[in-house]
Amino acid sequence: MVVREAKAVGTIRLSPATVRRIREGTVEKGDPLSLARLAGVTAAKKTSDIVLLCHQLRLDGVEVTPLLKDDGVEVTASVSARERTGVEMEALVAVAVALLNVWDAVKQYEKDQKGQYPVTRIEGIRVTSKVKRPLETA
C-alpha cells in the first residue's frame, strides 16, 4: 500500500476595504474563511464528480487552511490517501472551490459602480508538493 499526499495553494486578491471587513467580521454572508475551509474539504471529496477523468478516491485526510493577508486570502489544501493514484487534483479542486466561495461571500463589496471587479482575481493556483511513500506498518 502506498500513501499519497499533495499540497496546493492559491490566492484571491481583494480590495483593502474587503480585507478590513473580513478582519472585522462584518461580511454580511458570514465568515469567508470558515466558508472557504468547509467548501474546500467538501470539494476535495467530490473531485471525481467535477474532474471528468479523475478516479474516485477514498481520502484519509483533507485540510484546508485559509489565511487572511493584506491583499486578499491565500488558501492551502493538503490531501492524503492510501490509493493507487495521486491526490493532487483533489488538492487543486479544494483550493479553487475554497477561493470561489470567498469570492461569492464578498462579491458585493468588490464590485465597482458598473458592477465589475477591478481588483478581484483568483491567481497562482498550483501544486506545491506531491509525495508518494510506502505505508509504514506498525
The yes-or-no answer on residue 71 being catalytic is: no
Q: How many CA atoms lie within 13 A of 95 on its CB side?
A: 27
- Smallest Cα–Cα separation from 104: which of 120, 88, 90? 120
- β-pair partners for 77: 8, 64
CB atoms within 10 A of CB 90: 28
- Catalytic residue, chosen from 31, 71, 104, 112, is 104
Catalytic site positions: 104
